[in-house]
Amino acid sequence: MDINQFLNNLNLVNFLSLGIKILAVGISIFYLLFSIVILKQVGVMKKTIEFNDYGLLSFFSFIQLSLGIFLLFYSLFVL
């Protein structure tokens, strides 16, 4: 096999996709951890100042967590 054939076999497009996947997984994990922290912190904040938010703040916190889980699964299994 000569050097040109070797380089063609490497398929640089796959390297780019692999790099994007690794980056996506890393970002997704970071975002998931961030959303867990915010979920906990919203509980602390609501305990400090109690008012009727009709459950919206907790609801949006869980939406954020769900988005983080979806991002992680998408980056792991689809990308």
Residues at the contact surface with another protein, assessed by CB under 8 A: 17, 20, 24, 27-28, 31, 34-35, 37-38, 41-42, 44-45, 47-53, 57, 60-61, 63-64, 67-68, 70-71, 74-75, 78-79
**From the CB of 15, what's the least distance to another protein, in Å?**
13
Q: How far is the CB of 58 from another protein (least distance, A)?
A: 12
3-state secondary structure of 54: coil
Nearest Cα to Cα of residue 71 among 27, 23, 14 = 27
Rounded (10°) angle between helices 3-10 and 12-48: 30
